[in-house]
Amino acid sequence: MSTEATNAASGAAESPAREAVIRIEDLAVEYPPRAFGEGPTVAVGKLSLEVTQGEVFGFLGPNGAGKTSTLQVLLGFQPPTRGAAFIYGLEVRHPIARQRIGYLPELTYYYKFLSAEELLRFYGRLFRIPRGELEARIDSVLKLVDLDPVRKRLIKTYSKGMQQRIGLAQALINSPDLLILDEPTSGLDPLGRMKVREIIQRLKSEGKTVFFSSHELGEVETVCDRIAIISQGELKMVGRVADLVRQYQTHLERIFLKVVGYEPQASA
Amino acid sequence: MNSVFCLAGIVIKELYRRKDFYVLFVLTAIITLLLGSVNFFHEDKIVRYVKDICLLLIWLSSLVIAVVTTARQIPTERESRTIFPLLAKPVTRGQLVGGKFLGCWLACGIALLVFYLFFAVVVGAKEGRLPLSQYFQVIWMQWWMLAIVIAMVLLGSVLFSAPSANATICFAAILAILILGGHLHRLAAVQPSPLGQALSVLYFLIPHLEWFYAVRERLIFDSALLGWGDCLLAAAYAAAYVGLLLVATWTVFRRKILTV
């Protein structure tokens, strides 16, 4: 971790009494060499991070920084090369660690031959939600994402924005304590973005934790309590958004560019 | 098991909401009806030939449904990225493989029942009788043979990324087993070593799908029923292969890195 990171890493330490929802310890993710004689590709170096209960945490970094690899480990899609990751104290490779998670992937196309309510019923059953409760939750999340009027229509007839909203609905079907969002506003119109912001704020007010990666830094600045910036597989900075903005006397986009080492060309 | 059944339900829903099954059923039905309505050369035993051709069509159609449906399951999940929200739920990769297998197998079972119901109505109208036990045995054996086929294709779907490549390879392997499987040991006996030994090993390694296929002749020629114990033994034989193939599929799939 860089000096900046150490300086700003006060966020998690400020709330020692809170439960660590996500704990990443010395995480390294490497991919096998692509050609003979090459070394392995290091996606994540030695990442340590903690996200506590009830916070909205932004996970930022330029493309290829290692965000996706970290998310993959967190969700159990791939094992870490070294180190470990825990969700609610459970190592992520155990499926039960995902019982309290909601995950919205970036740009996913759901089963086209299902309707919205059938899709949600399917995902809800995977969580073993009792039938009556599941139907109530389906009603509630479909209303929340404004898809209630089209709940019986097949997903293949949905627009891109509607697909993203059904994605959000499936992520909320188990009433998760931790929501992991990967570019949640990608493909959404301004109204859709506002809706996502509202949902995140609402979840926060309910004491839920939201962990999301995004390139929309304006959005991150609006909704996040804390952020972490990684670049080239290393954690460059972690801290409270308000503290960082105060410390650097500028907005998040400028801070981000500075931290990842981008020097803007002098313009005329 | 809850997750396995949920996943199986989705596969079944996919089968009846897609056109593949209906196209094959309509084709089989038209050919069966045409054959059933024509009296070739005033031959009294024409029903036997109609049965033979129709059963062949049912076998081919069910094979196509099994291979095509299974081959696209996991690759499509990856391609459309639905695998990510799915595996982000408390679902293991083993359960995913199990659910896909069960779904495809049950879906093929339903398709078989529809095909045979139609076949029984057409042939029953010609023959004036309905040998239920024979039908049960034929469906039972074909369903278990399809279990092996589905498990084979599922393994192929985690080895080959393109469903079309997997389906082609599996079709070739299945046809080779059906046509040559029963003759391999005879061929091995006349070959010099080590080719003879290799063919012998192959003979004992491959699942003998042709044994299941042969049962249809009992329906065509009105032969005696198979022993019920033999039916159970055949199911156990198929189940053993299915188990081995599913374990192999899971072993390969659990090591796959799924890139978001």
> CB B259 to CB A72 under 8 A?
yes
Residue among A78, A106, A109 minimizing CB distance to B257: A78
- Shortest distance between the Cα of A228 and any Cα of chain B, in A, equals 20
B127-143 pLDDT tens trace: 777 888 888 999 999 99
B92: left (phi over 0), alpha (psi -120 to 50) or beta: beta
Angle at CA of residue B138, ends B219 and B245, nearest 5°: 145
The dihedral sign for the CA sequence A177, A178, A181, A185? positive
B22 touches A: beta carbon within 8 Å = no
Average pLDDT over residues B112-124: 87
* Nearest neighbour of A170 by CB, restricted to B9, B17, B85: B85
Q: Which residues of B touch A101 (CB under 8 A)?
A: 88
Point out which residues pair with A154 in neighbouring strands: A115
Question: Touching check for B81 and chain A: CB below 8 Å?
Answer: yes
pLDDT tens string, chain A, 268 residues long: the values are: 444 444 444 444 444 456 789 999 999 998 888 777 778 888 888 889 999 999 999 999 888 888 888 998 998 888 899 999 999 988 988 888 888 899 998 877 889 899 999 999 999 999 999 999 999 999 999 998 889 999 999 999 998 888 888 998 999 999 999 999 988 887 778 888 888 888 888 888 988 999 988 888 888 888 899 999 998 888 888 999 888 888 888 888 888 888 887 766 655 4
Q: Which segment of A25-39, A130-144, B71-85, B95-109 scores lowest on mean pLDDT?
A: A25-39
- The answer for B41, left when phi > 0, alpha when psi is -120 to 50, beta otherwise, is left
| B88–A98 CB contact, under 8 Å | yes
**Average pLDDT rounded to a whole number, residues B188-214:** 86
Q: Is B141 left (phi over 0), alpha (psi -120 to 50) or beta?
A: alpha
Measured distance CA(B238)–CA(B215) in Å, rounded: 15
Spell out the residues 6+ positions from residue A213 whose beta carbon is closer than 8 angstroms to its own. A58, A59, A60, A61, A67, A68, A71, A181, A182, A183
H or E segment and range at residue B132:
helix B132-159
Report the gap between the CA of A70 and the closest CA in chain B (Å).
11
Domain assignments of chain B as residue spans, ordered by start: 2-254
Dihedrals phi, psi of A265, to nearest 5 degrees? -70, 140
Compute the distance between CA of residue A225 and CA of residue A55 in angstroms, rounded to an integer.
Answer: 6
Q: Mean pLDDT of all residues in chain B?
A: 87
Complex prediction ipTM: 0.83
Selecting from A77, A111, A127 the residue whose C-beta is nearest the C-beta of B89 gives A127
- The secondary structure of A145-174 as a DSSP string is TT-GGGTTSBGGG--HHHHHHHHHHHHHTT
**Residue A22 distance to chain B (closest CA, Å):** 15
CA distance A148 to A162: 11
> At CA B173, angle to CA B167 and CA B175, rounded to 5?
100
Would the CB atoms of B260 and A106 count as touching at under 8 Å? Answer: yes
* pTM of the complete model: 0.86
Q: From chain B, pick out residues whose CB is under 8 angstroms from the CB of A70.
A: none
Q: Give the pLDDT score at A257.
A: 87
Nearest chain A residue to B259, by CA: A72
**Phi, psi of A103, rounded to the nearest 5 degrees:** -130, 130
Average pLDDT over residues B6-31: 86
Mutate which: B18, B78, B80, B89, vs A, most A CBs within 10 A: B89
- B89 contact A CB<8A: yes
Task: Show residues of chain A in contact with B88, CB under 8 Å.
Answer: 75-76, 98, 101, 103, 105, 180
Confirm if A223 and A63 have CB atoms less than 8 A apart: no
Q: Is B110 on the interface with A (CB under 8 A)?
A: no
